[in-house]
Amino acid sequence: MDIRRSSTIPRWVIVVAVVGAVFVLFPLVAMTTRVDWPNFLVLITSPSSVAALLLSLRTSLAATAACVVLGVPLALMLARTEFRGQRLVRALVLLPLVLPPVIGGIALLAAFGRRGLLGQTFDFFGVTIAFSTTAVVIAQTFVALPFLVLSLESSLRLAGTRYEAVAATLGARPTTVLRRITLPLIFPALLSGAVLSFARALGEFGATLTFAGSLQGVTRTLPLEIYLQRETDPDAAVALSLVLVLVAVLVVGLTLRTSTVPSLVRRGTS
Amino acid sequence: MSLAIQARVAERGFDVSLEVAEGETLAILGPNGAGKSTLLDIVAGLLRPDAGRGEWAGTPLFDIGGRHSLWLPPHRRGISLLAQEPLLFPHLSALDNVAFGPRSAGHSKDAARATARTWLAEVEAADLESSRPGTLSGGQAQRVAVARALAASPKLLLLDEPLSALDVTVASTLRRMLRRVLATRTAIVVTHEVLDALTFADRVVVMNGGAIIEQGPTREVLERPRHPFTAELAGLNLLTGTGSAAGLVTSGGLTIVGESVGAGVKAAAAVRPSAIAVHAVPPDADNVVRVTVSDLEPRGDSIRVRTESSAAGGSLHADVSPGRAAALDLAPGAELYFAFAASEVSIYPR
């Protein structure tokens, strides 16, 4: 970074900015000092830890897939159509972003729980959702979906409809336009939105605990495992936390890399 | 008539009825905001008018406001639109851009690419087939866009100022190419360039304020304009009035001497700016008009003198050499005399 180029910014802003950066980084650095390094590998490879990590990865991937399947049509509808109450729909879809996750969990119980509105319907078909791995995926999808929709909708608006109009006049049916023009054009945003959703799903705690409970190997994801271990084995909790931090850093890194893809497409070198 | 359109868009004050014969190229001239692009969007199916009907060779394209509303979506109209910007799909190679139409029509990838190669060769862009749109120059991209529009084998081609984003030399090459490909096709070309109309079009329609103000065969409209805007486009001075034995009498009472079209007939007189001599004192000529200079405008090797004349009932302009302009000491507000021979005036019924 070139400091001279930012000379129009008052010096005190930079001072506050440094304080802000330290505020975020310091706790993470502090955590690494608490890691029991000699036993690190043993701690993170205990059966319960491995089970939690694998469950987290599995459910988060499933939730990400669900977010893509549901989120792409939602974003398209919000960005490409006009209907009454559209602003309301957008606000409601984005609600999980600002809602305390515990409340999301309670709402999910009311809808899909054994005594929930749809729970009995599912029971009739022999499916019990609450306190199952499916419930974990549902909880994660619920909180992660807005990230994907938000990212896609703004990218769709930015891309505009002109390429789509040209494609239509060339004889392409709406589904062809979607498949061959719209989706490739917003692919970078789809990718970064999916990565963000994955990260959000991976860190999900409140809604999962409320709606899915904490059964080892079934619903106890890594964040739940860390919270439990904190009571009995703080060293394991810190070690697992570090694992989650590393995964998060990896995810953020991926997002930053994919966010450079659009400019590559425009230059035609990708 | 092959294409017949009648449409109204209240919000834009647009109300147009238009017909295009099969094999004909129609130019639409008009200033910005005249409704030219609105017309193309309606024909292409990208904009739904408030009311109107459109049909191609008896098959309806849309029918709105009647008992049974009908709207054929753009992909089922067989009408390609070429815009000012090439709008090549950035994620596809030039070849796949051109192959997009045939692919959408259900052809196999190989067949579509074979068709695309033919069209790229047709626009002299065969060497660009593997290029990404981002690496093409404006002229190259527009050539590929022409190939893409034609490869979709449209029954009607719409061109929205296809050359206006290109620099002059590139535009003239492309203009030649378009003249060749449009010769046998049914097309509507929107432009504000008279040269485009002369090059491509059998017939012109002049639009202003969302309506058609005049239309006819290209040469006739441009040589005998009936509307001041058309005269401006064609670079002619237009004087309107009533026919008399001597020629024409303007609303300001000025007599323009020329061939007579009959007394009492609504008539117009057209004079080329270069046929007008500019004098400081009244000269001896068939026609002398007293004018007040409103503006001077450099135009290459001459200076355009824009003037107002109450007797002529409007504005007149003439072209003089820089030397002559200096000798006359031209400046806005100066009083001058415009003189031209009766043989230089074209008088026609309006």
Question: Is B135's Cβ below 8 Å from some Cβ in A?
Answer: yes
CA B195 to chain centre: 8
User: Is the CB of residue B185 less than 8 Å from the CB of residue B25?
Assistant: yes
Superfamily per CATH, domain A34-267: MetI-like (1.10.3720.10)
Mean pLDDT estimate for chain A:
87
Cβ pair B105:A171 closer than 8 A: yes
pLDDT at A268: 36
DSSP state of B127: G
Q: What is the pLDDT of residues B41-54, one digit of tens each?
A: 999 999 999 999 99
pLDDT at A258: 58
The yes-or-no verdict on residue A1 having pLDDT over 80 is no
Mean pLDDT estimate for chain B:
90
ipTM entry: 0.82
Q: Which residues of B256-295 are buried (b: 16+ CB within 10 A; e: fewer)?
A: bbbeebeeeeebbbbbbbebbbbeeeeeebbbbbebebbe
Superfamily per CATH, domain B3-223: P-loop containing nucleotide triphosphate hydrolases (3.40.50.300)
Q: What sign results for the dihedral spanned by CA atoms A105, A108, A110, A115?
A: negative
Which residues lie closer than 8 Å to A73 by C-beta, 6 or more apart? none
The yes-or-no verdict on residue A270 having pLDDT over 60 is no
Q: What is the pLDDT of residues A33-64, one digit of tens each?
A: 989 889 999 988 989 889 999 999 999 999 99
User: Is the CB of residue B39 less than 8 Å from the CB of residue B6?
Assistant: no
Cβ pair A170:B131 closer than 8 A: no
Phi first, then psi, for residue B348 (nearest 5°) are -150, 155
Residues A96 and A150: their CA atoms lie apart, in Å, by 12
Q: Tokens 């029991």 — which residue?
A: A36
Q: Which of A162, A163, A164, A166 to mutate to test the interface with B (most CBs of B within 10 A)?
A: A166
Percentage of chain B with pLDDT > 90?
A: 52
Q: Which of B45, B133, B152 sits opposite A268 (nearest CB)?
A: B133
**Structural domain spans, chain A:** 34-267
Q: Which of A80, A161, A164, A170 to mutate to test the interface with B (most CBs of B within 10 A)?
A: A170
Percentage of chain B with pLDDT > 70?
A: 100
Q: Which of B44, B77, B100 sits opposite A167 (nearest CB)?
A: B100
pLDDT at A12: 93
Q: Which residues of A touch B (CB under 8 A)?
A: 162-163, 165-174, 176-177, 180-181, 184-185, 187, 265-269
Residues B339 and B341: their CA atoms lie apart, in Å, by 7
Cβ pair A171:B75 closer than 8 A: yes
Q: Which of B37, B71, B91 to mutate to test the interface with A (most CBs of A within 10 A)?
A: B91
Q: Average of pLDDT values for B62-66?
A: 88
Q: What is the pLDDT of residues A2-34, one digit of tens each?
A: 455 556 888 899 999 999 999 999 999 999 898
Q: What's the first-to-final CA gap in chain B, in angstroms?
A: 26
Q: Average of pLDDT values for A130-153?
A: 93
Cβ pair A171:B134 closer than 8 A: no
Cβ pair B74:A168 closer than 8 A: yes
By C-alpha distance, the chain B residue nearest A166 is: B81
B312, with CB counted inside 10 A (0-12, 13-18, 19+), is buried
Domain B238-349: give its CATH code: 2.40.50.100
DSSP of B220-235: HHHHS-SSHHHHHHHT
- Token digits of residue B19: 């017909």
- Token digits of residue A246: 């590393």
Cβ pair A173:B134 closer than 8 A: no
pLDDT at B1: 55
Q: What is the pLDDT of residues A194-239, one digit of tens each?
A: 998 999 999 999 999 999 999 888 999 999 999 999 998 888 999 9
Q: Average of pLDDT values for B238-247?
A: 88
Residues B174 and A59: their CA atoms lie apart, in Å, by 57
The yes-or-no verdict on residue B201 having pLDDT over 70 is yes
Q: What is the pLDDT of residues A147-174, one digit of tens each?
A: 999 999 999 999 889 999 999 999 999 9
Residue range(s) occupied by CATH 2.40.50.100 in chain B: 238-349
- The distance of A266 to chain B (nearest Cα, Å) reads 6
Q: What is the pLDDT of residues B1-20, one digit of tens each?
A: 589 999 999 988 999 999 99
The yes-or-no verdict on residue A259 having pLDDT over 70 is no
Q: What is the pLDDT of residues B148-198, one digit of tens each?
A: 999 999 999 999 998 888 888 888 888 988 898 888 899 999 988 888 888
Q: Tokens 């017949």 — which residue?
A: B4
Neighbour order of strands in the sheet with B187-191 = B79-82, B156-160, B187-191, B25-29, B203-208, B211-217
